[in-house]
Each structure stands twice: as C-alpha cells, then as structure tokens.
Homo-oligomer: A and B are copies of this chain.
Amino acid sequence: MKAGIIGGTGYTGRELVRILLRHKEIKSVRVYGRTHGRFLSEDIPELRGIYDGKVLSIETEKIIKENDVLFIALPHKVSMEISPVFQNRIPLFDLSADYRLKTAEEYEKWYQTPHLDKDYLGKYVYGLPEMNREKLKGATLVACAGCYPTSVILAVLPLIEKGLVENTVIADSKSGHSGAGKKLTEMTQAGQTNENIQPYKILNHQHKGEIEQVFEELNRGNKFYLTFTPQVMDFDRGILSSVYADLKEPLSQSQLDDIYRTRYGKEPFIRLYTGGTLPSVKLSVHTNFCDISCVMDERIARVTIISCIDNLIKGASGQAVQVMNIAMGFDEKEGLIN
C-alpha cells in the first residue's frame, strides 16, 4: 500500500509520517505541499535521517496514481478547497475540521466562513473508532475527530449513550501548545506559555460545536449542552480533560466502573484506571492511548472523569491511522503500539 499526505509540514504531518513509516502495510509515504522541491526535513528538521524524501507538488492525477490512500493534513478552510477533486477516487482521511460538522450552518457558525463543499458535508464518516467502528469499515471518506473532541467525547460516551446523563456536561480541557500549530502567535510565544496556563475562547471554541453535535447524536437526537473551557498549557503535547456529568440517578463507584469496563474493555486504545489510580497526561503522550478514570461523588450523583490523550497522536495522526486501519481492514493496532 502506498500512502500520500497533502500538507505534511505541520506537527500532525510530522507525526503522520513517523507512524506511517513504521506501518507494516505501508510501502511508501509521499508528502505533497506548497513547499514542493524542498526536502521535507528542511521544513521538519526532526525528520532528517528518518525521511529523506522531497515535498512533491500537488497534482491531482499524479497523486491519485501514486497512492492507495490519501491523508489530508491541511488547516481547516484549505481542506475543503482541495478535497473535492479526490473524493470517491481515492480513500480520503481528512485530519482537518472541514467535514466534521453535518450542516453548512453549523460550519459557518463555528468557523465564520461559508462552507465550499456543502454537498459532501454529511457524507464523511466521523472518524472516532470507539464510536463509529462499524461505519468506518470500508469507508472512503473520513473526517477524523478533533483533539479536544476525542478527549471529551471518549470521557463520557458510555454514560451519554446509555441515557444516564442530564442534558449537559462540563469539560475543563488543558492542551499542550502544539494544539495551536506551528504558526507564530502571541498566545504560543514562550513568554506567554512558560509558567502559565491560559484559558481562551470560553463559549465559542470551534470544537464546542463538534462535541455538541456528537453528544446530541449519542443522546438520540435530544439537545445537549457542553460547557467548555479550553486552556493552553506549558507543555508540548497532550490533553487532559476533566469532564463533569450529573447523572439522572445515583450510581455506586463500582457500577460506574462496570459501565466503563463493559463499554471499553475490548478497546485496543483505551486504558482504564480504577481503584484510586488517576492518569496524568505524561503517560499518554507519544502513544495512541486514551487514558480514562472515573470518580463518583455519591452524595450528589456527579461523576468526574479524567481523560488524557496525546493531541497529535490519538487526537490527530494516530487516530487517522487507526481509522485507516479499520477502513482498509488492517489490524487496528498496526503502526500504533510503541
């Protein structure tokens, strides 16, 4: 199998190249982008001695011919300009946000720009394996779940889909600064991030729409509200979300643990922490695992769930490969353990 990546010079591109190079079913990895003609390692110096190919120019027919699968690792707004020529001609795994929301209205609301490929909104499978594994089998249009959404949804999915939660949860999410990408911003200058934690975009972070959409689907179409506090941390990578959910009926800690064990026990990339042990974000970075622990406050029927992922792997490139593995019928873990 030959894999292509459009736009591989950012952080997710870097991780994707690394994972695909380790993947036993992938025989070649090609990267296409604006900086074509340069060695990829000029843009991503970490890859010197690991990937010595050049960035190639974006030519539709050539890309389709040279590859068996195609990953889109472009920023949002750019993916929807470029994707249409590839749809239905090659399996597409899109890491951008452009095809995650189901309607053009929602897209415009959260991204402040009209959607350019409305007909295909809704045709992509939402790429979150623990939720949509069956739909992903054989899928050729996949919008991989975002980083915050992966950490928040996986934290509380077992409770919402069983109808146990009131119609709202709170997610207090802390992300490494790589979540903001490579571009120069004031928020990600060292003088701002260092020894700091910066909340931002409370109420209007674009991932809120994505998460609420999923929660409503899990909640059988009933309205569901998310209170979301994203925060930029002084670490490179990783997301820790604390999710708070009030249950309709009280559960004991052991009933709660059972629900998670039943739902996630066979998931290859979920590690449950029970018996008082809590995950911390450092254990999940550089892996494709989502680490989860639940704590019941029986006094008030409230659950606190801690979930940790690597935003660049389970929150982006690892998940894209996991999704591809499912879609193409490979071992789901291929390339992703160690």
Contact = CB atoms under 8 A, between A and B. Distances in A.
Given A195-B235, A227-B300, 6 more contacts: A190-B190, A197-B281, A199-B280, A202-B304, A227-B304, A229-B304
Q: Which of A170, A177, A238 gathers most chain B CB within 10 Å?
A: A170
Q: How large is the interface on A (under 10, 10 to 19, 20 to 34, 35 or more residues)?
A: 35 or more
Q: Which of A182, A199, A238 gathers most chain B CB within 10 Å?
A: A199
Interface stretch (A45-53, A153-161, A321-329): A45-53
A330 interface: no
29 contacts: A21-B338, A46-B287, A48-B283, A49-B287, A49-B289, A50-B337, A168-B300, A170-B170, A174-B197, A177-B194, A178-B191, A182-B191, A188-B190, A188-B191, A190-B193, A190-B194, A191-B236, A195-B238, A196-B235, A196-B280, A197-B240, A198-B278, A202-B278, A225-B299, A227-B297, A227-B300, A227-B302, A227-B304, A244-B244
Contacts of A295: 202-203
B184 A186 contact: yes
Q: Which of A174, A176, A194, A297 gathers most chain B CB within 10 Å?
A: A194
B18 A338 contact: yes
A21 B287 CA distance: 14
Interface of A: 11, 18, 21-22, 45-46, 48-50, 168, 170, 172, 174, 176-178, 182, 184-186, 188-200, 202-203, 225, 227, 229, 231, 233-236, 238, 240, 242, 244, 269, 271, 278, 280-283, 285-287, 289, 295, 297, 299-300, 302, 304, 306, 337-338
